């Protein structure tokens, strides 16, 4: 596609429910990143995928958070037993990866998650 | 550890004024990348520039210019003859160069308001 696509745009759910956020990267981009943007914490790195594997999950805040990527394309970020502090905008980015050359990340519009 | 500081929380200017957004960074890496992203009200992070630590040459792109000074660990961004469409939050970011992927560390952002 032309850009990184995220769905849903907005998600409102009750505390304790599970949510799934989807990211469709730019075609051909092998690197995929998830970030979280919240009022208190700014923009934080969550996880990075290269192909289907996740070499760096260091930003996931707790074991309630998980992510997977299939077919080297679409990625899903899952939050289990949501808490109010999970309310934030979840941003996905993708980039070309070529050895030591780090290409700029291109971001989607984000999913605004609100936990009631 | 890496850190990016954007001391200016919000700047208000009148159209056609020049404005400089400050960015100061900390890193122990000898090689790294610096970035600027724009986040308009629509929410999508738009890539503006990437600069590697080897290259301290200033860059100009239309009304935008960037001043990278390694000696002061600064990467400032100037908009000349600002326009209302420049109103957005601007983020400075930093990443390793050698790890093969970009884990962006963002500043807290500077909100720029350009009034007619």
Give the pLDDT of residue B14: 97
Give the pLDDT of residue A1: 52
Interface contact A9, partner B, CB < 8 A: no
For residue range B33-82, list pLDDT tens digits in order.
Answer: 999 999 998 888 999 998 888 888 888 889 999 999 999 999 999 999 99
Give the pLDDT of residue B42: 85
Residues in CB range of B13: below 8 A, 6 or more apart: B19, B82, B112, B113, B114, B115
Interface probe with B: pick from A43, A49, A94, A98, most Cβ of B within 10 Å: A43
Interface contact A89, partner B, CB < 8 A: yes
Give the pLDDT of residue B52: 87
Which position has the higher pLDDT, A111 or A50? A111
Q: How many CA atoms lie within 13 A of A102 on its CB side?
A: 20
For residue range A7-38, list pLDDT tens digits in order.
Answer: 999 999 999 999 999 999 999 898 999 999 99
Residues of B near A (CB-CB distance < 8 A)?
A: 33, 35, 37, 42-47, 50, 91, 95, 97-98, 100-109
Q: How confident is the model at residue A99 (pLDDT cuts 50, 70, 90)?
A: low
Give the pLDDT of residue B43: 86
Q: How confident is the model at residue A42 (pLDDT cuts 50, 70, 90)?
A: confident
- Is B43 in Cβ contact with A89 (below 8 Å)? yes
Q: Is the bond preceding residue A8 a cis peptide, omega within 30 degrees?
A: yes
For residue range B13-38, list pLDDT tens digits in order.
Answer: 999 999 999 999 999 988 889 999 99
- Is A55 in Cβ contact with B106 (below 8 Å)? no
Q: What's CA A81's distance to the chain center, in Å?
A: 17
Give the pLDDT of residue B98: 63
Residues in CB range of B66: below 8 A, 6 or more apart: B36, B49, B51, B58, B59, B60, B75, B76, B77, B78
Q: What mean pLDDT is predicted for residues A75-81?
A: 98
Give the pLDDT of residue B48: 94
Residues in CB range of A62: below 8 A, 6 or more apart: none
């Amino acid at each position: 596609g032309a850009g990184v696509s995220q769905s849903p745009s907005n998600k409102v759910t009750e505390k304790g429910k599970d949510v799934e956020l989807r990211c469709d990267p730019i075609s051909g981009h092998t690197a995929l990143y998830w970030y979280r943007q919240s009022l208190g914490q700014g923009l934080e790195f969550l996880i990075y995928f290269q192909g289907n594997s996740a070499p760096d999950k260091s930003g996931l805040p707790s074991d309630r958070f998980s992510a997977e990527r299939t077919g080297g394309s679409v990625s899903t970020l899952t939050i289990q037993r949501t808490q109010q502090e999970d309310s934030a905008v979840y941003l996905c980015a993708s980039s070309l990866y070529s050895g030591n050359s780090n290409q700029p990340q291109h971001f989607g519009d984000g999913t605004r998650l609100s936990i009631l | 550890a890496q850190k990016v500081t954007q001391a200016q929380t919000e700047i208000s200017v009148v159209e056609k004024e020049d404005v400089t957004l400050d960015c100061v960074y900390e890193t122990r890496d000898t090689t790294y990348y610096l970035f600027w992203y724009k986040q308009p009200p629509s929410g999508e992070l738009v890539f503006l520039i990437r600069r590697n630590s080897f290259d301290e040459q200033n860059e100009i792109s239309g009304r935008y210019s960037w001043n990278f000074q390694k000696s002061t660990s600064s990467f400032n961004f100037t908009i000349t003859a600002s326009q209302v469409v420049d109103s957005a939050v601007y983020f400075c970011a930093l990443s390793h160069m050698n790890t093969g992927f970009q884990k962006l560390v963002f500043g807290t952002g500077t909100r720029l308001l350009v009034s007619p």
